Structure 1
């Protein structure tokens, strides 16, 4: 019964997050299809230590959509999201452990900007990644972006205080050089070739 309730909660979280992030009927239909796929893939995590975070990557079939099955013990954890546009934190805490699907999805919005929706911590976040010049540069070239994702084909159990990069997107050197020449890329000079970094850091339980 507990496992069934967890799976139903996962499906509800995916559906609600998708409705908030993407508005059109077609996009909602696509997200529902993806949710069904993730639910099928999201089997039970083999917990080696119930007191520590466990995670494994899930395949979405979409090169701009990334997902993980994540288990969080009843002790809390923190997540930091870093990008040139800023950063934010999110965390968990509670008397019961939590198991769910965390997601990051990118798309080109109606305004012409590259947008991302993330739901990895205790809430969802939507923001743009760069300006129109960046979106123009990356349009049709997403397959050139290098992807480093934790948990691909393995179970990751980070130590307390150990930072794990869930997702890092970086540009190949030729594309990074093109980005550096854009007039609006001054704020990106210190981070390129990295484009997007998502990290998770387990923290000790608060008394």
Structure 2
């Protein structure tokens, strides 16, 4: 009985997180409340608070999901080291599938957050910045010039953001080889970066972008 209750609680928690993630992706973080999340899955606000004591705790759980996704994708790199092909493997792992794009709206909102009087988001923003720093440090070990690491992180963010808005094709892992060649060969220039982004899947179809009503 206790096991069944735990499983039910875990399933409900997962439903709440999925609802929040989808609403944030379609409407933007600052336009989503706990009431919205509860309403989307037919729950009461009190029932949601039974799993998450505050909106900040709910958002923190979503951020933990994003952190876990990134960590899982980078784990093989830590085991295989920084030998030949390591950069391409890292990029392919990060861009494999479409799952990372689901986190973009949350991460973008936290990065753009400006602290107010009663701030619940600053600690979460700090976590995102720390993770970005870790990713940049990882790429620094794999690139011929440390200064390229920040540019590569920004390039990846642009690809994931475009994909999240349905402005880039699925299957971004097809970009890994081209990106690795571009950055390891020092051939980084705006026109080159654009050509890599557009040539990842030349046969892919594009969907219309999602409309957001964030401020």
Same fold, TM exceeding 0.5?
no
Larger Rg: 2
How does the TM-score come out when normalised to structure 1?
0.30
How does the TM-score come out when normalised to structure 2?
0.30
Q: Which protein is richer in helix relative to its size?
A: 2
Q: Which protein is richer in strand relative to its size?
A: 1
